[in-house]
Structure 1
Amino acid sequence: MKKVVTFGEIMLRLAAPGNQRFCQANRFDATFGGGEANVAVSLANYGYVAQFVTRMPENDLAAACLMDLHKYGVRTDHVVFGGERLGIYFLETGAVSRPGKVVYDRAHSSMAGIRPGMIDWERVFEGASWFHWTGITPAISAGAAEACREAVEAANRMQVPVSCDLNYRDKLWKYGKTAAEVMPRLVAGCDVAIANEEDAEKVFGIKPEGFDAATAGGGIDSRRFGDVCRRLMERFPRLRKVAVTLRGSINASRNTWGGVLCDGRRLYRSKRYDITHIVDRVGGGDSFAGGLIHGLLAWPGDDARALEFAAAASCLKHTIDGDYNLVSAEEVERLMRGNGSGRVSR
């Protein structure tokens, strides 16, 4: 089995039940989640040795988090311990015309206190076939950004392919540096970049001509994003593939979903899914990233198939409560073949 490494922060997720607002909730549903951990869970489900690397406190909450990851087959051999708290995020799920909300409580978390030298990346990447990180990690703190740089450079030395989901989070860049200042050096070491329809603009000022996500609704023209992919590849010559997820937001309960993938010569466009009754959209981009990594590793040279797998995997994630995409590769491929009826399997 191929080994994939992901690096980032996992948090306690406290979600208001159903579609309740924060002010209504008198309890919260507790699970765990975070971008890179979500990708690791997806890949473990697809049969990979998925190694999630992070820094955690030594307490019962962190132990419960590790047990949760182990339940889904994620390896945590290289987790380092220190600091005093696990980050938390609170979720209010939107409905129809009311958008969802996220409130972070992750300042001074164990992961925010990580520093270069705390992780032996040479050991982590022994036998690895892939390394994945997201733009959330360098947004947490200067130390996390430097640790991420250290990881990317080690992966480059050891010839481990590197992917990055740009994942811009405005609420997190608070330590005196901007994404535009920090991200270029990190993305320069990547072989594959993933973004949503707004990330490239918010991080690098690259956007499709005449596109406004706020007014696009469900009608996003995927052909507009070929130029975004090519401009990213021109700016970062190491990149050999760029994928962009395309979410058409009709309202909080109904989205269209798909993506494009560019290899520098050709633009591939996935099937567009109409997701009419969203259960949970958090982790949708992570499920796309996990699906794309699987596709690129499983079917080298067949970028169209890899993209279709990623889009279908993420479509299914929207039907699952929680951060993790708890589907098998067989279920994803069934949807790719057009079996989306939802009939009971007996």
Structure 2
Amino acid sequence: MKKIVTFGEIMLRLATPEYLRFSQATSYEATFGGGEANVAVSLAGFGMQTSFVTRLPENDIAKACLADLRKHGVGTSDIVWGGERLGIYFLETGAVSRPSKVVYDRAHSSVSTIEPGMIDWEKVFAGADWFHFTGITPALSQSAADTCLEAARAANRLGVTVSCDLNYRKNLWKYGKSCTEVMPALVECCDVIIANEEDAEKVFGIKPEGFDVTATGGQVDAARFESVAKQLQAKFPRAERVAITLRGSINANHNTWSAVLYAGGTLYASRRYDITHIVDRVGGGDSFGGGLIYGLLTYGGDYQKTIEFAVAASCLKHTIKGDFNLVTIDEVEKLMGGDGSGRVSR
């Protein structure tokens, strides 16, 4: 069984019920979520051995979070304890022409005050095949960025495959360093780069000519992103594979969804899904990352099957409330095979 390690922050998620605005809500639905934890849950659901690494405060909310991760089969033995608090994010789900909103309350969270040396990476990576992190973690603080770099370099030294989802979040880079200053050293350690249609531009200034993410009309030309993948590989030659998700936003409830994988000098484009009734798109990129890692570890050099699995898995995530993608391999493979009927399974 393959072992995947992920490192980052998990938060308490407080979402308004249905489509209520913050100003209307009198109660919130409480779950947990965070980029790297979401990937770990996906992979655990696909039968992989996972270990999620973070730092949690010693209180009952953090213990509830730990129990939730364990419930989904995620390994938690490498988590360290300390710090002040668990971060929180508030979610207002958009509808039709009104976009969703996220408000962060994660200052001074336990993982943002983590320091290099607090985690024994040699122990964590013992028997590991893969290490995954996102651009969210180094955005939290200088010490979190330094710890992430410590982990990535340890993984390189130990022969563990490293992936990073660039995951640019403009509202997080507040500690005096910009993403363009911090991310290059981290991405230099990566064998696999994951991004959405605008991450490469926001982080490295790399974009397809004439592309406007706000004016896709639901149609994103996959072929135009081959140049983005090539530019990323030229800048970061260790990265043999680059995957880019392509979201065409018609409105808050209706998106198109596809992706490309560039590997071995060939661009592999997935089928495009038309998602007409989105239940929850938060965690969609993370579910793609989980599906991609599963495919790369399982299907070897069959890159077409890998990208189809990743996109189908993340398409299904749009039907599930919460950050976590709670789908099975069988469900993903049925959708890959063309069964999107939604008929009752008896």
Matched with 1:82 is 82
Q: State the distance in 2 between where 1:83 and 1:9 align.
A: 13
Q: State the distance in 2 between where 1:124 and 1:65 align.
A: 20
Q: Which ranges in structure 1 are unaligned for 5 or more consecutive residues?
A: none
Q: State the distance in 2 between where 1:84 and 1:195 align.
A: 32
Deviations 1:126-181 (A, max 9, x none): 00010000000000000000000000000000000000000000000000000000
Matched with 1:142 is 142
Matched with 2:265 is 265
Q: State the distance in 2 between where 1:107 and 1:235 align.
A: 32
2:207 aligned partner, one-letter code: K
1:261 aligned partner, one-letter code: L
Point out 4+ residue stretches in structure 1 off by more than 2 angstroms: none
Matched with 1:172 is 172
Q: Does 1:37 align with 2:37?
A: yes
Q: State the distance in 1 between where 2:119 and 2:334 align.
A: 39
Deviations 1:100-121 (A, max 9, x none): 0000000000011000000000
Q: State the distance in 2 between where 1:51 and 1:93 align.
A: 30
SS in 2 for 1:14: strand
Q: Does 1:27 align with 2:27?
A: yes
Q: In 2, are the aligned partners of 1:233 and 1:264 still within 8 Å (CA)?
A: no
- Measured after TM superposition, the shift of residue 264 of structure 1 is 4.4
SS in 2 for 1:250: strand
SS in 1 for 2:64: helix
Q: State the distance in 1 between where 2:306 and 2:21 align.
A: 38
Q: Does 1:4 align with 2:24?
A: no
Deviations 1:303-325 (A, max 9, x none): 11000000000000000000000
TM-score normalised to the size of structure 1? 1.00
2:222 aligned partner, one-letter code: S
Q: Which ranges in structure 2 are unaligned for 5 or more consecutive residues?
A: none
2:179 aligned partner, one-letter code: A
Q: How much is the aligned-residue C-alpha RMSD, in angstroms?
A: 0.5
SS in 1 for 2:112: helix
Q: Does 1:59 align with 2:59?
A: yes
Q: State the distance in 2 between where 1:174 and 1:239 align.
A: 28
Q: In 2, are the aligned partners of 1:7 and 1:52 still within 8 Å (CA)?
A: yes
Q: State the distance in 2 between where 1:275 and 1:214 align.
A: 18
Matched with 2:48 is 48
Identity, in percent, stands at 70
Deviations 1:22-77 (A, max 9, x none): 00000000000000000000000000111000000000000000000000000001
SS in 2 for 1:185: helix
- Measured after TM superposition, the shift of residue 84 of structure 1 is 1.3
Equivalent residue runs for 1:160-309 within 5 Å: 160-309=160-309
- Measured after TM superposition, the shift of residue 217 of structure 1 is 2.4
Q: In 2, are the aligned partners of 1:55 and 1:111 still within 8 Å (CA)?
A: yes
Equivalent residue runs for 1:121-160 within 5 Å: 121-160=121-160
Q: State the distance in 1 between where 2:255 and 2:147 align.
A: 36
TM-score normalised to the size of structure 2? 1.00
Q: State the distance in 1 between where 2:179 and 2:307 align.
A: 27
- Measured after TM superposition, the shift of residue 330 of structure 1 is 1.0
Matched with 1:14 is 14
- Measured after TM superposition, the shift of residue 214 of structure 1 is 1.0
Q: In 2, are the aligned partners of 1:230 and 1:264 still within 8 Å (CA)?
A: no
Q: State the distance in 1 between where 2:154 and 2:329 align.
A: 30
Aligned length: 346
- Measured after TM superposition, the shift of residue 219 of structure 1 is 1.0
